[in-house]
Amino acid sequence: MNILLIGKTGQLGSSILAEQTTHRIYAPDRAELDIESKESYERVIAEFHPDVVVNTAAFHNVPQCEVEPLRAFAVNCQSVRDLALACKKADTLLVTFSTDYVFGGERKTPYREDDRTRPLQMYGISRLAGELSALATAPQHAVVIRTCGLYGLSGASSKGGNFVDKRIADAQSSSEMEMGCDQVVSPTYTDDLAQAVLKLIEHPQLVPGIYHLVNEGECTWFEFTQAIYELLNINVDLRPVDRGGMSGEMRRPLYSALANTKARDLGILLPHWRDALQLYLNIKYRDKLVK
């Protein structure tokens, strides 16, 4: 299978590049393929003839999307729509990604793929618009994967690293810390997600549409941080704080855990978030783990 990967330097893109071993994969630099340049990916698709285009590029700095809504829509919606059209013309499958932030947080059990969306901020709105535009433009060629709370070995450059690494760095500079206990999420290790994405692409019963792929289980960011410090035996006075889902004037969903309903039906299973966190720490912080 020929796979064209867009966004190879991001957390998820780099994990997909590292995990795939059986396919021919082409992952051009941004100088050759820019998600905001329709001409560049039309040219690359015509030259490489991929069976699947995997798009991991996005404008996912949530607060910055409030400041730059036009760019949020340009990257997260218009570019996805144009990419879907290019894949449809080339008879190529598009796999693109979305977020738990398309939901409003009113549930108390994990969201399924067909649950009602209700984004609360510009990031979620632009990502939902990208979902709808891809599925409307190329209904027989588009797979949208929603995921949540990503952390990976490469970190996220637009966010200054990932959540796990930043909490470990925080503990090195302060013995006291507050962490939100108001949001319930499904934090997801990108290596696990990458393996699941590749299994989904390869599955003979894959049909276009929306899929959820996250590490199993749910927790608050406070509970996730607690687990990080416990596994690394870091002594920090960690205090829960309830911000009501607010980040300044911006709202985040209070509950956005996802259920891998459709993937599970295909036999694609992801580990529990605690096991995923343990694996990540085993790889990156082996010397600091509790014996």
pLDDT tens profile 195-250 = 999 999 999 999 999 999 999 999 999 999 999 999 999 999 999 999 999 988 89
- Is residue 188 classed as helix, strand or coil in its secondary structure? strand
What are the start-end ranges of the H helices in 90-220?
122-137, 163-173, 190-202
Q: What pLDDT, on the 0 to 100 scale, is given for residue 248?
A: 83
Q: Which of 158, 178, 157 is CA-nearest to residue 167?
A: 178
Residue 123 is among the residues annotated as catalytic for this protein: yes
Q: Which of 7, 59, 53 is CA-nearest to residue 30?
A: 7
Rounded to two decimals, what is the model's pTM? 0.95
Is the pLDDT assigned to residue 290 strictly greater than 60? no
* Alpha carbons 60 and 57: distance in angstroms, whole number: 9
Q: What pLDDT, on the 0 to 100 scale, is given for residue 154?
A: 81
* Alpha carbons 18 and 10: distance in angstroms, whole number: 12
If you average pLDDT over every residue of the chain, what do you get?
94
Fold category of 2-149+188-215+258-270 in CATH: Rossmann fold (3.40.50)
List the chain domain ranges: 2-149+188-215+258-270
Locate 147 and state its tokens. 């995921």
The answer to whether the CB of 268 falls within 8 A of the CB of 203 is yes
Active site residue: 123, 211, 255, 280, which one?
A: 123
